[in-house]
A and B are shown apart, each in its own frame.
Chain A
Amino acid sequence: NAGVTQTPKFRVLKTGQSMTLLCAQDMNHEYMYWYRQDPGMGLRLIHYSVGEGTTAKGEVPDGYNVSRLKKQNFLLGLESAAPSQTSVYFCASSFTGGLYEQFFGPGTRLTVL
Chain B
Amino acid sequence: LAKTTQPISMDSYEGQEVNITCSHNNIATNDYITWYQQFPSQGPRFIIQGYKTKVTNEVASLFIPADRKSSTLSLPRVSLSDTAVYYCLVVINNAGNMLTFGGGTRLMVKP
Q: Is the Cβ of B32 less than 8 Å from the Cβ of A99?
A: yes
B residues in contact with A98, CB < 8 Å: 91-97
B residues in contact with A96, CB < 8 Å: 95
A residues in contact with B96, CB < 8 Å: 50, 97-98
| In the complex, per-residue mask of A79-104: 1 if CB is within 8 Å of any chain B CB, else 0 | 00000000000101000111101111
CB proximity of B71 to chain A, nearest CB, Å:
15
B residues in contact with A103, CB < 8 Å: 46
A58 within 8 A of B: yes
B87 within 8 A of A: yes
A63 within 8 A of B: no
- Given the complex of chains A and B, what is the CA–CA distance between A48 and B32 in angstroms? 21
The bracket for how many chain A residues form the interface is: 20 to 34
A residues in contact with B95, CB < 8 Å: 96-98
Give the nearest-CB partner of A41 in chain B: B103
A residues in contact with B104, CB < 8 Å: 42
Q: Known: A106-B42, A106-B43, A107-B41. Contact between A97 and B101, CB under 8 A? A: no
CB proximity of A55 to chain B, nearest CB, Å:
13
Q: Known: A98-B92, A99-B49, A99-B93. Contact between A45 and B44, CB under 8 A? A: no
11 pairs from A and B in contact (CB 8 Å cutoff): A4-B43, A43-B44, A43-B99, A43-B101, A45-B99, A90-B43, A98-B97, A99-B49, A102-B46, A104-B45, A107-B41
